[in-house]
Amino acid sequence: MDLSNASAIVTGGASGLGLATARRLAARGAHVVLIDLPGSDGAAMADEIGGKTSFAAADVTDAAAVADAVDTARRQAPLRAVVHCAGRGGTVRVLERDGSPGPLELFETVLRVNVIGTWNVLRLAAAAMAAAGRPAVTGPQVAFSGKVLVEREQCVLTITISRPEVRNAIDAETAHGLAAALEELDSDPGLAAARADQRLARAIAANGPLAVAATKRIIVDSADWPRAEEFARQREISEPVRASQDAREGALAFREKRPPRWQGR
């Protein structure tokens, strides 16, 4: 991933896991914003890392302070990453050794930092990241986000996804572009058809037909499954595929570095 034109937020960046992460991201060329408590070593650590690294003093539970830090990051470059390491441990007893009840305030503080703080950082960063990932609309007919090309001809919407580097995997930018394109499709009843990238379709079709059919069935059927039964129901569909001749052929072909010869049984 090219991070040289991206900003990244690392919370708890003045110490430990956060500091180590910030160093790695800065070495990859990202504009790193360290978020940590005002009394922390954040400023000194940002200076030490140098380059495009800066410090934003904020308690992760403070909505306004984290929003300011996120703004600092997005002003430097589109926000592409957040690594949330701020947190605290602490042993809190239900019952003290002398028989008195454990402390409510400390319990609340630990939960507040670790749970509310996490939620606060993720929600604010996610909004900024989503804004950075939206496709730029370049005209009424065509929107292009770099990885997803959307073209419209009368009632046909063609969505082209650039070839993913790793088989069927898509990155966040592509997913955002695709989601926006599908939103357009959903919101317009005049669009009769969408054509996904044929290369992606070919990549899916290259998988064993039993596995593709089972996966499709699981995706379609699972919407109605009670949560407690999800694994068992999924196993009912996937176990026969695991036990099939095609499953053995897939493993063998992988070992022999050749395309598999699917039989459909």
Ligand X SMILES: NC(=O)c1ccc[n+]([C@@H]2O[C@H](COP(=O)([O-])OP(=O)(O)OC[C@H]3O[C@@H](n4cnc5c(N)ncnc54)[C@H](O)[C@@H]3O)[C@@H](O)[C@H]2O)c1
Nearer to ligand X, 33 or 150 (CB): 33
Query: Smallest distance, Å, CB 6 to ligand X?
Result: 22
Residues 168, 199 contacting (CB under 8 angstroms): no
Q: Is 36 in the site for ligand X (CB under 6 A)?
A: yes
223 in helix, strand or coil? helix
Query: Smallest distance, Å, CB 76 to ligand X?
Result: 20
Q: Is 61 in the site for ligand X (CB under 6 A)?
A: yes
Element (H, E) at 71: helix 63-76
Q: Among candidates 27, 116, 22, 117, which has minimal Cα distance to 73?
A: 22
Q: Determine the Cα–Cα distance for residues 110 and 122; give it in Å rounded to an integer.
A: 18
Q: Which of 23, 28, 29, 37 binds ligand X (CB under 6 A)?
A: 37
Q: Determine the Cα–Cα distance for residues 36 and 14; give it in Å rounded to an integer.
A: 6
Residue keyed to tokens 């063998």: 252
Segment 66 to 105, residues that bind ligand X, using CB under 6 A: 85-89
Q: Is 121 in the site for ligand X (CB under 6 A)?
A: no
Q: Is 135 in the site for ligand X (CB under 6 A)?
A: no
Q: Determine the Cα–Cα distance for residues 204 and 253; give it in Å rounded to an integer.
A: 17
Query: Smallest distance, Å, CB 103 to ligand X?
Result: 18
- The residues binding ligand X (CB under 6 A) are 11-12, 14-18, 36-37, 40, 59-61, 85-89, 113, 117
